[in-house]
Structure 1
Amino acid sequence: MASPGRRGGVPTREGEQRREEQTEQQAPAPQGPVLPPPPPVDYGVFMQGLLQAMQTQAHTQAALQTQMEAQVRIIR
C-alpha cells in the first residue's frame, strides 16, 4: 500500500518541500536598472578631508568662543 500523501505515494512534507524549492528557483528577476558597483574609496583622501573638516570646526568653535567672551565683557 502507498504511504500517506498525494499522487505517486509522495508524502505531503516531501511534496511541499519540493514545491518550495521550485518556487525559490523560479523567483522573478529584480526589476529596474542594474547599477554598476560603487567606485573604490581612497581612504587617504577621505581622511584628509575629515581632518580638514575637524580643523575647520575647531577654528570656528574657538572664534565663536572668543566672540562670546568679548560680548559678555561688554554686557558687564
Structure 2
Amino acid sequence: MASRGRRGGALAREDQPRRDERAEQQAPALQGPVLTPPPPVDYGVLMQGLVQAMQTQAHTQAALQAQLEAQICLDGAYERCTAGKS
C-alpha cells in the first residue's frame, strides 16, 4: 500500500508542470490600444502614381545618358562620339 502512495505522489508531481502549462495557455493576452483599420486603397490612384514614377525615372535616365554622352564628347573623345552618327 505504501508503494501506491508513493506512485500516486510521483504522478501528482509530474502533473504539476502540465497544469502550469495549461494555465499559461489559458491566460488572457495583454490588451494594447485598439487600432482602427487602415483606410481603403484606391488602386487606380496607386497605379497612376506608379506609372508616373516609372515615366519620371525613364526621363531622368535618358537625360543622364545624354549628359554623359555630351561630357564624353567634351572630354576629347570626339571620334567615339561621332562614330555612330552621320
Query: What is the TM-score normalised by the length of structure 2?
Result: 0.64
**1:29 corresponding residue in structure 2:** 30
Structure 1: any 5+ residue segments left out of the alignment? none
The structure with the largest alpha-carbon Rg is: 2
**1:43 corresponding residue in structure 2:** 43
Structure 2: any 5+ residue segments left out of the alignment? 77-86
The amino acid of 1:17's aligned partner reads R
Equivalent pairs: percent with the same residue?
Answer: 52
Q: Distance in 2 between matches of 1:64 and 1:38?
A: 39
| Structure 1 runs of 4+ with >3 Å offset | none
Query: What is the TM-score normalised by the length of structure 1?
Result: 0.70
The amino acid of 2:21's aligned partner reads E
Q: Distance in 2 between matches of 1:43 and 1:35?
A: 23
**Structure holding more helix per residue:** 2
